[in-house]
Structure 1
Amino acid sequence: MSLPVRVRGSVVVPDAELQWRFSRSSGPGGQHVNTTDTQVELRFDIAASAALPQVWRERALERLAGRLVDGSVLVVRASEHRSQWRNREAAAVRLGALLSEAVAPPPRARRATRPSRGVVERRLTDKKRRADVKRGRSGRFD
């Protein structure tokens, strides 16, 4: 069949949960492309998936809400290659990357910090020195 769609770590989406659809691709390629179904559409129902843990499912549904069809189906299309097999691989890789990014844990909250006194003093002295240099360039002589 096709390559397994790896999400993160050991979590893999089984082929049974993927729906493949093929159609004619637009663009260059000559007579071969005009007669074969090389464009690939890969559909994955996130809400109905048993492969993803519940927390990941909720996170993916929330983060991919703008891309989902019918509220829970993620659709990926690939038509950049001339062969159906390479387009299948491209669609599977793209789906894996999207899911991996969507289920990633949220980044740690930033803790507000203050610059140390030494850093502030160095910045102000450098600023004063620079101002003196620029003032020394003026045309008037005091």
Structure 2
Amino acid sequence: MSELFITPRISIPLAEIEFRYARSSGPGGQNVNKVNSQAQLFWNAKANETLPPDVLKRLLIRERNRITEEGVLRINSQQFRDQERNRRDCLNRLRQMVVEALAPAKKRKPTRLPRWAKEKRLREKKRRSDRKQSRRPPKED
């Protein structure tokens, strides 16, 4: 496998993705202290040329908390006991992030306040005002 396939038209070359491994804090008993099973994926998203520019822009915005100043996306996985499954989990999460960035966000259509809601708000406002007005001492003219 030389590429991470997102869609039939879009893929990310695995040469652009770097993996590092560390000791995991997840399940594994005493094995946790001996094996580097945590996978860390590093991908320079800003340097990528295979993703369409609009998809890349949406991805950079959506995942801005995972991306460094240099544009490197970092994904960690320590869900499984072995390194290879954590590596695949990182790749699947990257694929899912790109798939979610493929669809542009729907434009928000502001809801219109119904007339009865406006009238109810004004009635309640008037009632509150009258109640507070009645607590005041009478005016002397």
The two structures have a TM-score, normalised by structure 2, of 0.68
1:69 aligned partner: 68
The CA RMSD measured in Å over matched residues stands at 2.6
Matched residue SS, 1:102: helix
In structure 2, stretches of 5+ residues that fail to align are 115-141
**Distance change in 2, residues 1:35/1:53 (3 Å):** same
Q: Distance in 2 between matches of 1:80 and 1:24?
A: 12
Write the mapping of 1:38-49 to structure 2, written as runs, cut at 5 A: 38-49=37-48
Q: Deviations over 1:41-64 (max 9, x none)?
A: 001111100221222222222222
CA shift at 1:92, angstroms? Answer: 0.7
1:57 aligned partner: 56
In structure 1, stretches of 5+ residues that fail to align are 116-142
CA shift at 1:108, angstroms? Answer: 5.0
Q: Distance in 2 between matches of 1:58 and 1:80?
A: 29
Alignment length, in residue pairs?
115
Alignment partner of 1:83 is 2:110: no
1:139 aligned partner: none
The two structures have a TM-score, normalised by structure 1, of 0.67
Identical columns (%): 35
Structure 1 window deviating more from structure 2 (75-84 vs 47-56): it is 47-56
